[in-house]
Amino acid sequence: MRIGHHQLKNNLFLAPMAGVTDRPFRSLCRRLGAGMAASEMVSSNSLLWGSKKTMRRADHSGEDEPRAVQIVGSDPTMMAQAARFNAERGAQIIDINMGCPAKKICNVYAGSALMQNEQLVAEILRSVVNSVEVPVTLKIRTGWDRANRNGERVARIAEDCGIQALAVHGRTRADAFHGEAEYDTIAPSRRR
């Protein structure tokens, strides 16, 4: 599998997990065979970039390649700035989080809340893709809730905007982390 010009050694991805996939955990997973391991999400709010937590998350010295950093936010300009900030600090892939269901993220219209506004999705994606030279990837859910499963439409928007790889958490935001994932929805062979 390739993302932009990065040839991955296999197609096994470590799912990004805030509070779990820190650098030691990513290194361990890469050593045990993962072809790709993205960082924990970093806020697009520049006021937080000086914080110890964000500085630690933005430190990639000595890390295996390609180094992917996940950003989260809702403002196209701030997201572009965050992408540039991280690319200048060694990120070789920028991943955008539109899958997080947490209230503190969705209440500021970021993470999976963005799936309710396809126009804003497109604005953010275009803004980030145009702001960096490195490939940009996207993480989504299948929709906001079961009545609004627009994951496929968002995937097409992503393709149009120049997103180079898409990861899908196979649940709606309303389903959080509960129950069986929607393997039928995310099956690659299905064309509707």
Ligand X SMILES: Cc1cc2nc3c(=O)[nH]c(=O)nc-3n(C[C@H](O)[C@H](O)[C@H](O)COP(=O)(O)O)c2cc1C
Active site residues: 100
Q: Which is nearer to ligand X, 38 or 132 (CB)?
A: 38
> Closest Cα to residue 129, out of 96, 172, 167?
96
- The yes or no reply on residue 20 touching ligand X (CB under 6 A) is yes
Residues 118-137, mask of contacts with ligand X (x by CB under 6 A)? --------------------
Q: CB under 6 A: which stretch of 3-11, 12-20, 22-30, 46-54 binds ligand X?
A: 12-20
Residue nearest to ligand X (CB): 15
Please identify which residue in 15, 28, 55, 176 interacts with ligand X, judged by CB under 6 A: 15
Report CA Rg, the chain: 16
Class of residue 173 by CB neighbours under 10 A (exposed 0-12, middle 13-18, buried 19+): buried
From CA 172, how far away is CA 66, in angstroms rounded?
29
Q: How far is the CB of 26 from ligand X (least distance, A)?
A: 13
Q: Which is nearer to ligand X, 44 or 97 (CB)?
A: 97
Please identify which residue in 116, 155, 181, 185 interacts with ligand X, judged by CB under 6 A: 181
Amino acid at 60: H
Count of residues making up the chain: 192
44: helix, strand or coil = coil
- The yes or no reply on residue 97 touching ligand X (CB under 6 A) is yes
Please identify which residue in 169, 172, 175, 182 interacts with ligand X, judged by CB under 6 A: 169
Residues 60-89, mask of contacts with ligand X (x by CB under 6 A)? ----------x-------------------
Alpha-helical (H) ranges within the chain are 23-31, 52-57, 76-88, 103-106, 118-131, 151-161, 183-186
Please identify which residue in 23, 29, 40, 83 interacts with ligand X, judged by CB under 6 A: 40
Please identify which residue in 3, 6, 16, 175 interacts with ligand X, judged by CB under 6 A: 16
Q: Which residues contact 13 (CB under 8 A, 6 or more apart)?
A: 34, 35, 36, 37, 38, 167
From CA 34, how far away is CA 11, in angstroms rounded?
8
